[in-house]
Amino acid sequence: MKKPVKRILYIVIVLVIIGLIAYPKLPKNTGDETDAEQAASSQSQVLTVNAMVVNAESLENKVNVTGSLIADESVILNSELAGKIEKISFYEGQRVSKGATIVTLNDDEILAEIEKLQYTKKLNEDNEYRQKVLLEKEAISREEYETALTTLNTVKSELKVLQARLEKHYIKAPFSGITGFRDIAEGSYLNPGARITELYKINPIKLEFNIPSKYISLVNKGDQLSFDVDGYDEQFAGEIYAIEPLIDPQTRSISIRAKAKNDESKLYPGQFARVSLILETIPNALMIPTESVIPELSGKKAFLYKNGKVSAAQITTGIRTEDRIQVTSGISKGDTVITTGILQIGPEMPVNVTIK
């Protein structure tokens, strides 16, 4: 057999082998698909997205800020007089009642002065009585009687001064509370103004925090709030009782104080608090997921599902929560908002939806 014929035969054999290998992979039924099969194929190419039906619901417009707890009342106890400490009548961290004696200073000297004046007072009272009898008998002039009366009144006034000084030797609690650490010891000498201890009233306890001044019209005395602190897995309730009538020019915020019950003494001054304050309640708010909102140069939009196709709606938004946002215009109750596939769809595009 000649070489050209062999070469042709080899080529034919190779082509046959290639054809046998490629044939099973060729598409079948080309041109023979039914209308139903074409429709099913076209339907399988339509994107399926998730959507939700918008309903009206109650929305709480609240602000979350941080604050600090402070004592309802606190005072540094000290002495107005100098003297030796005779007795300490409290323990550190002790609850004391209003008017209870905290510290007693040595009062021997003042008591002796009072006793001396008591004798002088008795002498002047007797002298005033005698002068009064003589005046009634016109045995002395009125001037002489008035001199005796003035002397008696002067002694009485001096006695009142000493009594007031004596009271200052007994340092008392101005209100009921808990004492802090003391800085004194019995037998030591106490100078005027020296710190003895600090007294705290912590039931109720105060909560101080700041909010942006744009919310000033929504906050009023008597508004309720909740807060939590480190160390307890519970929410505490409070009520606003005072609003500072001044906006901080640096932060443009306003200071607010609230009071909370502290019957179990769980809360302490200086604690850090996380505050949640409800500013207003909107009864019929329309809420959609934040991922459904598409920002644009001219505003915001969302995609709706209408008549089997995508429809774009220009919207305005309001209050934002953790994962949702309020729509104030552009969407109505009952509309179907597309929530997934936002980057893959466009207006008038047919889609399949799964309502979540």
Q: How much is the pLDDT for 293?
A: 94
Handedness of CA 30, 33, 39, 40 (dihedral sign): negative
Q: Which CATH class is domain 64-72+202-282?
A: mainly beta
Chain-centroid distance of CA 150 in Å reads: 63
Q: How much is the pLDDT for 6?
A: 66
* In contact, 178 and 107? CB cutoff 8 Å: no
What contacts 323, CB < 8 A, 6 or more positions away? 289, 290
Instruction: Verify cis geometry, omega within 30 degrees of 0, for the bond prior to 283.
Output: no
The predicted-structure confidence for 185-196, as pLDDT tens digits, reads as follows 999 999 999 999
Q: How much is the pLDDT for 290?
A: 93
Reference 208, options 347, 92, 66, 307; nearest CA is 66
Q: How much is the pLDDT for 137?
A: 85
Burial class (CB in 10 A: 0-12, 13-18, 19+), 168: middle
Measured between alpha carbons, how far is residue 68 from residues 7, 71, 232 in Å?
A: 97, 10, 15
Q: How much is the pLDDT for 26?
A: 53
* In contact, 275 and 229? CB cutoff 8 Å: no
Beta bridge partners of 259: 206, 239
* Helix, strand, coil shares, percent, the chain, to 5: 30, 40, 30
**Three-state secondary structure readout of 78-126:** ECCCCEEEEEECCCCCCEECCCCEEEEECCHHHHHHHHHHHHHHHHHHH
What contacts 240, CB < 8 A, 6 or more positions away? 219, 220, 221, 222, 223, 224, 225, 256, 257, 258
Question: Which two tokens mark 122?
Answer: 């008795």
Query: CA-CA distance, 205 to 268, in Å (whole number)?
Result: 8
> On the CB side of 93, how many CA atoms lie within 13 Å of its CA?
2
Q: How much is the pLDDT for 202?
A: 95
Q: How much is the pLDDT for 135?
A: 85
Q: How much is the pLDDT for 324?
A: 92
Q: How much is the pLDDT for 138?
A: 83
The predicted-structure confidence for 246-282, as pLDDT tens digits, reads as follows 999 999 999 999 999 999 999 999 999 999 999 988 9
Pick the CATH number of 48-58+283-355 from 1.10.8.50, 2.30.40.10, 2.40.420.20, 1.20.1440.230: 2.40.420.20
Pairing of strands 47-53, 351-355: parallel
Domain boundaries, the chain: 48-58+283-355, 64-72+202-282, 75-199
Residue pLDDT tens, the chain, 356 long: 455 666 676 676 767 677 666 655 555 554 444 454 544 455 557 899 999 999 999 998 889 999 999 999 999 999 999 999 999 999 999 999 999 999 999 999 999 999 999 999 999 999 989 988 888 888 888 898 889 999 999 999 999 999 999 999 999 999 999 999 999 999 999 999 999 999 999 999 999 999 999 999 999 999 999 999 998 999 999 999 999 999 999 999 999 999 999 999 999 999 999 999 999 889 999 999 999 999 998 899 999 999 999 999 999 999 888 889 999 999 999 999 999 999 899 999 999 999 98
Q: Count the Cβ atoms, other than its own, within 10 Å of residue 77.
A: 21
Question: Which two tokens mark 353?
Answer: 């939806």
What contacts 39, CB < 8 A, 6 or more positions away? none
Query: CA-CA distance, 34 to 76, in Å (whole number)?
Result: 95
CATH for the stretch 75-199: 2.40.50.100
* In contact, 183 and 198? CB cutoff 8 Å: no
